[in-house]
Amino acid sequence: MARMDRGVISDIELRTPAGRLIVGVFVVILVLFGAAFIFPFLFAFTAGLKTSTEIFKPGLHLWPENPNWGNYLEAWNRFNMVNMFKNTAIAAIGGAIGQLIVSALAAFSLSRLKPAGKRVIEAILLITLAIPGVAYLVPRYVILANLPIINVSLINQFAGLWIPYAANAMTILILKNSFDQIPKDLYEAAAVDGASDLRMFVSFTLPLSTPILIILGLLGFIGFWGDYLLPLLILRDPALQTISVRLISLTRIFGANLHLAASFIAMLPPAIAAIFLQRYIRGGISF
Amino acid sequence: MTPIEMTTTKDLILPLKRIQWRAQISAYLFLLPALLIFTLVTWLPMLQTVLFSFQTVNLVKPSVWIGFQNYVRMFGNPVFYTTWKNTFEFILLSLLIGFMVPVLLALMIHEMRRFKSFFRTLAYMPALVPIIVALQVWRSIYAPEGGFLNSVLKTVGLTPQLWLQDPDIVKISLVIIMTWIGAGGTILYYLASLSEIPTEIYEAAELDGFSPLQRIWFISLPLVSSRMMILLIMQIIAVSQTFTEPFILTQGGPGTSTMTPVLQIYNIAFLNSDIGLASAWSVSMLVVLAIFSIVYVRLYNRKEEGDRN
């Protein structure tokens, strides 16, 4: 394990001029690309500090002459961002929790309870991964607008987002994989003690899978926070709309500086979630 | 064989069977929410897409079966061919601009002894941000007057461009955004596969006198190439579904130069309320993506087998 941290280039080569040159070139290229990756964030941040005339002033000037910190407050108040944040949080947190509950229950059944027709269920779950959602978006919308049999419309209901968000075959398969790793002895011991399936699920299956549950929850939150098409179709009432949908319709009314200030504020929750995510994901995601 | 013995065996078998039934009920109770929700928002809609494509769909009155008329209308519309031609160009451009970038960046990040996770996070940032927010920022960068890019061009003495209004440039402008958003996830994937390569191979090659670049060319790249094929297909599948970028930034224009199949499906279904026709378009999309998905699954299985051997 002592030499684990060598890459293609060895530590000895790193001390030679040629090795230093190569790594030096790599660092320069990475810094340039890194700057390009982060540039739009900086751009939104500094543009949000400019006055409405300065933002359109020709010429290169990234940092404003007089940073207008009040823009952020003004954007927050005039866009009624509290309400946008509340709506987006309800949609994203509800979606992430719903997805975890539905997926964990199904994954536990597939992993431990041997339902008849398990292979068929797994196969049709896999199929949903191969067919992208846009291909059946229209009937999905028709169904959500008028649920079959009970004839309830989910338009302008957060449940209209939570239900489709909860259906994620990838989450089920990842959780099943993770539940498969839990030692069988635990279940046998619990069965001897007369524990019910639900008890085994709640008392040690879930607690033992906390890291993966948190990772999937955060990934779900980040994805749903930025979702656009479904909220656009489902949440028609402006008072219920999420940040993504609302920001677009406000583009036409307010100045670009306020708009970019609001955009920057809207980036913060997923960025914070990503920082938490970093703590749980070590050494990259493999799938 | 006395009758008493018979009953004891029965007593033994019956409870066993009963327990199995109870286990099945329990197993399906756990599965029930997922099965209900998947039926409602995934399996039923998939089936309906196919059915709707043969109907004139009316949300108030019952729908009418019309055979292949929707398909005749779809194939008779020149925009159908334009959208797929655009998609084809988007795919080519995205492979040209975006396919090698993540491989090279991953190789470089892999060589970093410090700040590895810093660069990794940086590359992943664009994927974390709400796409709408990112597109708002890009709109300001591409703005013809006072936009960042044109300001840079003016400062260094080049002619400003109409990044989103010139039909010759607009596709490249959009593909740059797609690459910016998508590169991070791909880099994470390549980094994971690079870290799986045993370092002993590099050590042996180094002793045999291979230079670092030769080691990358002869060892790293061949070993990640099976993943590169998978990501190639994934990129094609993702680009075929391009919607948000043209929807927000160009509305498919100028003209129809950035009109894509999904954008057209959206317009037909939600602006023209012609759900039957939109479903025919969806089925055509489904066929194309299913072909790529099958290729993807085959490649993936081959990679899994390769990993096991």
Q: Are residues B14 and B161 in the same domain?
A: no
Q: Are residues B156 and B244 in the same domain?
A: yes
Per-residue confidence (pLDDT) for residue A261, from 0 to 100: 86
* Interface contact flag, B30 A108, Cβ < 8 Å: yes
* Interface contact flag, B136 A143, Cβ < 8 Å: no
* Interface contact flag, B151 A58, Cβ < 8 Å: yes
Q: Does A155 touch chain B (CB under 8 A)?
A: no
pLDDT, tens only, B263-309 = 999 999 888 888 899 999 999 988 888 888 788 778 777 776 766 65
Q: How far is B295 from chain A (nearest CA, A)?
A: 11
Task: For chain A, list the strands marked E by DSSP.
Answer: none
Per-residue confidence (pLDDT) for residue B78, from 0 to 100: 93
- Nearest CB neighbour to B289, from listed A8, A131, A266: A131
Complex ipTM: 0.85
With bands split at pLDDT 50, 70 and 90, how would you rate the model's confidence at B211?
confident
Q: Using the 8-state DSSP alphabet, how is residue B77 labeled?
A: -
Q: How far is B279 from chain A (nearest CA, A)?
A: 7
Q: Are residues B84 and B201 in the same domain?
A: yes
Q: Using the 8-state DSSP alphabet, how is residue B56 labeled?
A: E
Would the pLDDT of B254 be above 70? yes
* Regions of chain A where pLDDT drops below 70: 1-5, 55-62, 281-287
Top-level class of domain A81-248: mainly alpha
Tokens of B68: 């292949």
Per-residue confidence (pLDDT) for residue A28, from 0 to 100: 92
Interface test with B, best of A138, A257, A287 (most B CBs within 10 A): A138
What are the backbone dihedrals phi and psi of residue A63, each rounded to the nearest 5 degrees, phi first? -90, 130
Give the structural domain span for B10. Answer: 3-46
Beta-carbon-side half-sphere exposure of residue B227 (alpha carbons within 13 Å) = 23
Tokens of B153: 């061009």
Per-residue confidence (pLDDT) for residue A283, from 0 to 100: 43
Instruction: Confirm whether B55 is domain-assigned.
Output: no
What are the backbone dihedrals phi and psi of residue A206, each rounded to the nearest 5 degrees, phi first? -65, -50
Phi-psi region of A64 (alpha: psi -120 to 50; beta: other; left: phi over 0): beta
What is residue A152's three-state secondary structure? coil
Whether A7 and A23 have beta carbons less than 8 Å apart is answered as no
Instruction: Confirm whether B65 is domain-assigned.
Output: no
Q: Are residues B38 and B120 in the same domain?
A: no
Q: Are residues B36 and B121 in the same domain?
A: no
pLDDT, tens only, A88-124 = 999 999 999 999 999 999 999 999 888 888 889 988 8
Whether B37 and A95 have beta carbons less than 8 Å apart is answered as no
The helix (H) or strand (E) run that includes residue B64 is strand B64-65
Residues 36-65 of B with CB under 8 A from A: 37-38, 40-46, 48-49, 52, 57, 59
Give the CATH number for residue B275: 1.10.3720.10
- For residue B111, the chain A residues in CB contact (below 8 A) are 7-9, 22-23, 26
Instruction: Confirm whether B230 is domain-assigned.
Output: yes
Q: Are residues B183 and B262 in the same domain?
A: yes
Compute the mean pLDDT over every residue in chain B, rounded to the nearest whole number: 84
Q: Are residues B18 and B121 in the same domain?
A: no
Per-residue confidence (pLDDT) for residue A103, from 0 to 100: 96
pLDDT, tens only, B14-46 = 555 555 787 888 889 999 999 999 999 999 999
Domain boundaries, chain A: 8-78+251-282, 81-248
Q: Are residues B112 and B180 in the same domain?
A: yes
**CA pair distance B111, B215, nearest whole angstrom:** 12
Q: Are residues B18 and B141 in the same domain?
A: no
Per-residue confidence (pLDDT) for residue A285, from 0 to 100: 44
Tokens of B14: 């019956």
Per-residue confidence (pLDDT) for residue B18, from 0 to 100: 54
* Interface contact flag, A56 B279, Cβ < 8 Å: no
- For residue B270, the chain A residues in CB contact (below 8 A) are 233
C-alpha of A272 from chain center: 11
Chain B nearest-CA residue for A273: B128
Q: Are residues B7 and B112 in the same domain?
A: no
Per-residue confidence (pLDDT) for residue A100, from 0 to 100: 96
Number of structural domains chain B divides into: 2
**CA pair distance B16, B28, nearest whole angstrom:** 19
C-alpha of B123 from chain center: 18
**CA pair distance A97, A102, nearest whole angstrom:** 9
Q: Are residues B79 and B41 in the same domain?
A: no
Q: Are residues B84 and B39 in the same domain?
A: no
Q: Does A135 touch chain B (CB under 8 A)?
A: yes
Instruction: Confirm whether B209 is domain-assigned.
Output: yes
Whether A136 and B42 have beta carbons less than 8 Å apart is answered as yes
